[in-house]
Amino acid sequence: MIAAFLNWLQHGLGKGHEDTAQSWSEALLGSLNFWNLLEGTHLIVLMLFAGTIMVVDLRLLGVTFRKTRVSVISDRILPLTVFSFAFVVITGLALLFAKPIFYYHTIWFRVKMVFLALALLNILVFHGRVQATQSSWDADEVPPATARFSAAASLVLWTLVILCGRFIPYNWYECGKPQSDAINWLEECKTSEKGEVNLAGQRFETKVAGAQQ
């Protein structure tokens, strides 16, 4: 069901009846300048987002701006974090829309989504529990262990999110190429357009409902 939906999203949505007609996804990917602008914007706002996260987390770890209250750093930085994160999400969804099948069957994208979910969960825990006692340690040069642990987890998780995203363009693990059964299973290569090929060179293909002939 998911494979059929992604196939429709990439090859069918918005496509006309002409022989040369393209779907909206194909048109976005094949655009002369807009795709590069979209990708560049995503990377720029991602750097802004990561930079603001780093400033706050390093203060929570007691590494930088130790004489400045945590609340002062947060009030100055977090609006930029929220703004940049919104643009990261918007541009990221647009990039995903351009190549949904490719991303779905890429192990780096799947791992990235796991780390992203953990990073967002860490934010919810911090703002819901850790920050509830901030008034008692707001001016401390070194915040308590719970705050430091949340900051360290944030730095690690967002770094892993960015690294996994950076690895996506590389074809180290790609459906249709000889690779281990574990990787083929994790990428669901049997339902991909390129099929599954094991290390022995055996090809296994599953017809995707709604796929183009």
**What number of CA atoms fall less than 13 Å from residue 33's CA on the CB side?**
0
Instruction: Give per-residue pLDDT as tens, 122-137.
Output: 999 998 888 889 899 9
Give the N- to C-terminal CA distance of the chain in Å, as an integer.
18
Which tokens sit at 16? 């006309």
**Residue 192 near residue 10 (C-beta atoms within 8 A):** no
Query: What are residue 196's DSSP bridge partners?
Result: 204
What average pLDDT does the segment 184-207 reach? 81
Q: Is residue 213 over pLDDT 60?
A: no
Q: What is the pLDDT of residues 77-113, one digit of tens each?
A: 999 999 999 999 999 999 988 888 888 889 999 999 9
- Domain range summary for the chain, segments of one domain joined by +: 2-11+27-170, 174-213
Q: What is the model's pTM?
A: 0.85
State mean pLDDT over 151-166: 94
Altogether, the residues listed in the chain come to a count of 213
> CA–CA separation, 88 vs 10, rounded Å?
21
Percent of the chain topping pLDDT 90: 49
For residues 13 and 19, what is the distance between their CA atoms, to the nearest angstrom? 15
Sort strands 196-197 and 203-204 into parallel, antiparallel or unpaired.
antiparallel
DSSP-assigned letter for residue 133 = G
Look-up of token digits 């249709």: 176
Classify 205 as helix, strand or coil: coil
- 146 and 130 Cβ atoms separated by less than 8 Å: yes
Percentage of the chain lying above the pLDDT 70 cut: 96
Per-residue model confidence (pLDDT) at position 205: 66
- Residue 209's contacts (CB-CB under 8 Å, 6 or more residues apart) are 3, 4, 7
Is residue 206 very low, low, confident or very high in pLDDT (cuts 50, 70, 90)? Answer: low
Rg of the chain in Å (alpha carbons): 21
Can you tell me the distance from the alpha carbon of 162 to that of 171, in angstroms, rounded to the nearest whole number? 17
